[in-house]
Amino acid sequence: MASNSRRQDGQLTRRAVLAAGGTLGVAGLAGCLDTLEGLVGDAAADLVNTVATPAAFYGGADAPAGSRAESDHTVEYVPATVSGGGLESSVGLPAYVTTSLVQAQNHNSSRSNRTSAVRSDPDADGDGLADVLELERKLSTQATEASNSISKRSARTGRLALEDIVATIDAIQAELERCTTDVCATVRENADIRKQTTRTAIDAVDTGDWEQAEASVERVREIVAGDIRRLEDALDADSDGDGLDDGSELAAYLDGEATIGERFVFAVPGASFGDERLADELTPDRVLQYLTGRADSSGDSSQGTVYAWGSNEPRLAAEIDWPFSTGTGPYNPNEQLLALGYKGEGLNNATVSLDVRGSIDPDDDGDGVDTAADAVSIGGGNVSRNDGDGPLSWGNERVAGDVSVSPTVVLSVAARPEDCPEPMPALLFVRRIRHGEQLVFAGGWIVDDNALYGNAVTMFVAEDVPELSAVAHDRSVEEMRRTITSGLTRERSRLGSLAYDGELNEAALAFLPPAHRDGRVRADLLERVRQRVGRRNPQTGKAIAIPLRDGPAGPDEESLQVTVVPIDCPIVQISLADGCKDCEECKCVTNLVPAVNTISSR
């Protein structure tokens, strides 16, 4: 993947986008698109809805404890060009992208970083330790799945999950046959205990003794956590000069002033030519390919491409790559995303947990093979495969007032911010908003805490669709701010795009939808968090306390840490005042960033 960076003046680097051909087509996403068939016309006037104005996330009015504000806002004008296909001359289409960074000082603080694992198989001596470690991590995930099934009193899925545990223990025992170290001897003894304990759990499920089943699975999870810690400690770390990367450089980066996320708002016209619409071409995959620099910048002349994004190429500051590699450490390949539903009430809007890097529903198509999720869709409190299309479809939209909003598409990716020594596991997200005759794509990426730490999770939260404010371009900064705040109808909207970074304690409640702050829904959320992280940190061996439920952590405990990211934060879009027909000529961008950026970064 081509790298990207920012110049010292804060602007994104630019790369020319070439286009060639003789038939009118669409080459959005820097040229990586198919030709549209049957587009005809004899004048530029046949292209309709050609206006776009910049938009940005509202940064919030207040900054509670633990909040992380965005910084380094940049607005870029990135026009597209249409030519050929019967048009007498080329036609320019305006487009804008606004980006900002989410930074944190010492993100590692109070988090247990997984720096003792190794990125690639270090099994140079053939003792099998690295292979056993990977199997133990798989076993940890299976034990969590079994615990979840048993907590739901599901005899069928509970038994299947427990049988998977037995099969993995068999594989571990086979690997341990070639290892004679003391660590392997201990893990071998524990494997026998775990297998017997798992069989006890199976018998308990068969007889409906759910308390015994839960106790047995919890015992298995505790033993697995200890074995993972032993194996990680036994493997080489990069500090010994063996050239193996153990994640310590990334840990050092996160100890300082680190970029842990980035947001973008990309605005384009809702252009159409005859029966063809630009909206149909800009799928989630194409938008993300474009913004992450993965698309072909030269176009496809064999397809007659003559519609290209202009000479500026919008990019996120970080290098983004996907799919995330699940076969290498030091990162847990089986982390989950916690998504809070819109209303937080009723079955359809309950808290949803999901394994982003694994299968949402094993063998959901009945072909005998577990289906991995390239991307998932969050909407209305549900997590789905987006009708099977993953990042190729926006899914069913929801109409709210004068906007139509898609679900949020989420991918598991590797993100490498500028100056970061290596990629970090992250979650990339985007949704589409139709506003008037414009398309607004809003999203970003955030570090995936649960992939990096044994006592932390990342949450995406939403109470409703984003509130969108239109502000006239000729208003002062203060007038714009008054317009924005007066139009907000939800308490959480006043926090804007602030993320929360800290313990899952009382301070975190302000960042959660109101329904998740008390009662049954809060209890359900905390139970799902508990199921996700377990009761003990496999890296340190310490018990994990959830302050909202368990109170402050004791001397031998660690507090559950959380990064809460709103995906329904307000969006502000410039509207053209009377007498202005072209945003660039009217200098409509001038006051947008100061109007939304009311809080300096922490």
pLDDT confidence band for 380 (50 / 70 / 90): low
The verdict on residue 141 lying in a domain is yes
Same structural domain for residues 56 and 202? no
Between 367 and 112, where is the model more confident? 112
Between 348 and 393, where is the model more confident? 393
Average pLDDT for residues 172-197, to the nearest whole number?
A: 87
CATH number (domain holding residue 230): 1.20.120.660
The verdict on residue 17 lying in a domain is no
Cβ pair 73, 587 in contact under 8 A: no
The verdict on residue 311 lying in a domain is no
Average pLDDT of the chain is 74
Helix or strand (DSSP H, E) at 138: helix 129-151
The backbone torsions φ and ψ at residue 271, rounded to the nearest 5 degrees and listed phi first, read: -65, 150
Same structural domain for residues 154 and 211? yes
Provide CB contacts within 8 A for 512, sequence distance 6+: 340, 461, 525, 564
User: Which structural domain range is residue 545 located in?
Assistant: 51-76+262-275+317-362+370-596
What is the pLDDT at residue 479?
Answer: 93
Least confident of 174-178, 363-367, 377-381, 434-438: 363-367
Same structural domain for residues 346 and 381? yes
The verdict on residue 119 lying in a domain is no
pLDDT confidence band for 2 (50 / 70 / 90): very low
Q: Which residues pair with 442 in a beta bridge?
A: 265, 431
155-176 helix and 210-234 helix, angle to the nearest 10 degrees: 30
pLDDT 10s digits, 218-276: 999 999 988 888 887 776 443 444 333 456 778 888 888 899 999 999 999 987 766 66
The verdict on residue 113 lying in a domain is no
Same structural domain for residues 330 and 376? yes
What is the pLDDT at residue 10?
Answer: 30
Same structural domain for residues 67 and 170? no
pLDDT 10s digits, 546-597: 999 999 999 989 999 999 999 999 999 999 888 888 888 888 888 999 999 8
d(C-alpha 206, C-alpha 229), whole Å: 32
Evaluate if pTM is beyond 0.75: no
d(C-alpha 474, C-alpha 482), whole Å: 14
What is the pLDDT at residue 374?
Answer: 58
The verdict on residue 112 lying in a domain is no
From the list 565, 328, 335, the residue with the least C-alpha distance to 454 is 335
Cβ pair 452, 478 in contact under 8 A: no
What is the pLDDT at residue 3?
Answer: 36
Same structural domain for residues 465 and 530? yes
Helix or strand (DSSP H, E) at 228: helix 210-234
The verdict on residue 289 lying in a domain is no
Same structural domain for residues 427 and 570? yes
Bond before 330 cis per omega within 30 degrees: yes
Helix or strand (DSSP H, E) at 481: helix 477-486
CA torsion 357→358→360→361, rounded to 10°?
A: 170
Same structural domain for residues 64 and 139? no
The verdict on residue 83 lying in a domain is no
Same structural domain for residues 547 and 414? yes
Same structural domain for residues 189 and 325? no
Q: Which residues pair with 365 in a beta bridge?
A: none
Same structural domain for residues 70 and 187? no
The tally of domains found in the chain comes to 2
d(C-alpha 156, C-alpha 233), whole Å: 37
What is the pLDDT at residue 116?
Answer: 38
Average pLDDT for residues 380-401, to the nearest whole number?
A: 70
Cβ pair 248, 238 in contact under 8 A: yes
Structural tokens at position 579: 């007498």
Q: Give me the count of residues in the chain.
A: 602
Average pLDDT for residues 299-311, to the nearest whole number?
A: 40
Same structural domain for residues 269 and 218? no
With tokens 């017997």, the residue in question is 196
Extended strands (E) in 270-397: 272-273, 276-277, 307-309, 319-321, 336-340, 352-355, 376-379, 382-384
Bond before 417 cis per omega within 30 degrees: no
